[in-house]
Amino acid sequence: MAQKAAVNTPPDNGTSRTVSASAAPPAGPLAIDPVAETARIAEAMRAQLAVLGRRGLVVAMSGGVDSSVCAALAVNALGAARVFGLFLPEAESDPESISLAREVADRFGIRYAIEDIAPILAAAGCYARRDEAIRALVPGYGAGWGCKIVMPGARLDSDRLNVPLLVVQSPAGDAQQLRLPAERYREIIAATNFKQRVRKMLEYHHADRLHYAVIGTPNRLEYDQGFFVKGGDGLADLKPIAHLFKTQVYRIGAHLGVPERVMSRPPTTDTWSLPQSQEEFYFGLPTRELDRFLDAYVRGESPETAAARMGYAPEQVKRVYRDIRSKREATRYLHAGPLLVAPVSLDGAPPSLDD
């Protein structure tokens, strides 16, 4: 079972705020008014909670900017007394993640609990199943080794297929990189996805006992491009920043006073035993640049116009547009709900209950 720590109630630290130097206001089409947008989100969150019939919000806090901004938005909308944070580390988590999450919780006065999910993952075979798949390629892989999956770089200047690569590192520090066959890739990803799904299970446990709803924390890039696990971090009752590009999330975070250490931390998956950025695992470009490309794509801007405005060659823009379209198509399944044989209506007038 998960190792559970006592619920922590942070001290009231007042209203001090730190604005990150890394959170420069987005310009052009991505510019937003953080005051107005924060107020709009708060109003929407309160209305959504009323529709859901729940009295508060649970948010899993990873120490990253997205979950931190969502936690701050929840406090802004409802007050700290109606927000509950969860820290959900496992055997391969970055130790800094809890430190950062605790700093955010203290800053905004959020009660929280720490649940070590490593025992659940071990019992489900998360680590063993993944390691077995890796040993089919690297027979010596075992205790003390590290691993991650990366995608080929140079996405702007190459039309090559995005074939995943496995990176492993021995206890002596020797690293090797191998092309992953599709079957092994699926086995490794399927085992690793236990991490997101176990976390979500515990989020809903606490939501049920508190009669709260669960916040999902994807930004626009992650939501649009399918960077989430179905039944894992993709599962939630409301997703307050799914319409915001990453640079806009930083803008909201600066406005709300998310700590500088969180704001300056590079986006990371914090899923693999070797350090890994979101860029090398999935997106292939820095999020600030991909924001600009995705914004141009969704506004229907031609590659030629976008290239002239952004300072790229038209062929580079076309490559990114193709990658955006490809990811949307490949991850459509992740957004889909269950399919029914026939429609089942939950509306309509009830029968009379008068005696």
In a domain, 301, yes or no: no
Question: What is the DSSP code (8-state) at residue 113?
Answer: E
For the record, the structure tokens of 318 come out as 């076309």
Three-state SS at 292 = helix
Structural domain including 149 reads: 125-189
CA distance 17 to 107: 9
pLDDT at 159: 76
Q: Are 134 and 222 within one domain?
A: no
Crossing angle of helices 314-330 and 287-298, rounded to 10°:
80
* Residue in 246, 239, 224, 235 with CA at minimum distance from that of residue 327: 224
Going by C-beta distance under 8 Å and a sequence separation of 6 or more, which residues neighbour residue 259? 18, 68, 100, 103, 104, 107
pLDDT at 304: 98
Q: Are 15 and 110 within one domain?
A: yes
pLDDT at 10: 57
Going by C-beta distance under 8 Å and a sequence separation of 6 or more, which residues neighbour residue 267? 64, 65, 246, 277, 278, 279, 287
Residue 252's CB is within 10 A of a number of other CB atoms, namely 25
Q: Are 212 and 68 within one domain?
A: yes
Looking at residue 63, its amino acid is G
Which of 189, 205, 228 is the last residue in one of the domains? 189
In a domain, 74, yes or no: yes
Q: Are 101 and 197 within one domain?
A: yes
Q: Are 184 and 214 within one domain?
A: no
Which of 251, 268, 285 is the last residue in one of the domains? 268
Which of 218, 243, 268 is the last residue in one of the domains? 268
| Burial of 13 per CB tally in 10 Å (0-12, 13-18, 19+) | exposed
Q: Are 13 and 101 within one domain?
A: yes
Predicted model pTM: 0.90
In a domain, 287, yes or no: no
For the record, the structure tokens of 282 come out as 């999935």
pLDDT at 212: 98
Q: In 181-286, which residue ranges form alpha helices assigned H by DSSP? A: 182-192, 194-210, 220-225, 246-256, 260-263, 278
Going by C-beta distance under 8 Å and a sequence separation of 6 or more, which residues neighbour residue 279? 267, 285, 286, 287
In a domain, 207, yes or no: yes
In a domain, 87, yes or no: yes
For the record, the structure tokens of 215 come out as 């916040």
pLDDT tens track, the chain, 355 positions: 445 455 565 544 443 333 333 445 666 889 999 999 999 999 999 999 999 999 999 999 999 999 999 999 999 999 999 999 999 999 999 999 999 999 999 999 999 999 999 999 999 999 999 999 999 999 999 999 999 999 886 678 777 777 899 999 999 999 999 999 999 999 999 999 999 999 999 999 999 999 999 999 999 999 999 999 999 999 999 999 999 999 999 999 999 999 999 999 988 888 999 998 888 888 888 889 999 999 999 999 999 999 999 999 999 999 999 999 999 999 999 999 999 999 999 887 778 777 6
CA distance 85 to 170: 36
Query: Looking at the chain, how many residues does it have?
Result: 355
Buried b (16+ CB within 10 A) or exposed e, 177-213: eeebeeebbebbeebbbbbbbbbbebbbebbeeeebb
Q: Are 134 and 101 within one domain?
A: no
For the record, the structure tokens of 88 come out as 């959900």
In a domain, 342, yes or no: no
pLDDT at 355: 60
The CATH code of the domain that includes 210 is: 3.40.50.620
pLDDT in tens, 127-185: 999 999 999 999 999 999 999 999 886 678 777 777 899 999 999 999 999 999 999 99
Q: Are 174 and 109 within one domain?
A: no
Q: Are 169 and 235 within one domain?
A: no
Direct distance between the N- and C-terminal alpha carbons of the chain, in angstroms, rounded to an integer: 50
The domain total for the chain is 2
Q: Are 143 and 36 within one domain?
A: no
* Residue in 150, 97, 181, 147 with CA at minimum distance from that of residue 283: 150
Q: Are 80 and 201 within one domain?
A: yes
Q: Are 257 and 151 within one domain?
A: no
The two beta strands, 175-179 and 213-214, are unpaired
pLDDT at 17: 35
In a domain, 346, yes or no: no
DSSP string, 22-79: T-PPP-GGG---HHHHHHHHHHHHHHHHHHHT-S-EEEE--SSHHHHHHHHHHHHHH-
pLDDT at 22: 45
In a domain, 294, yes or no: no
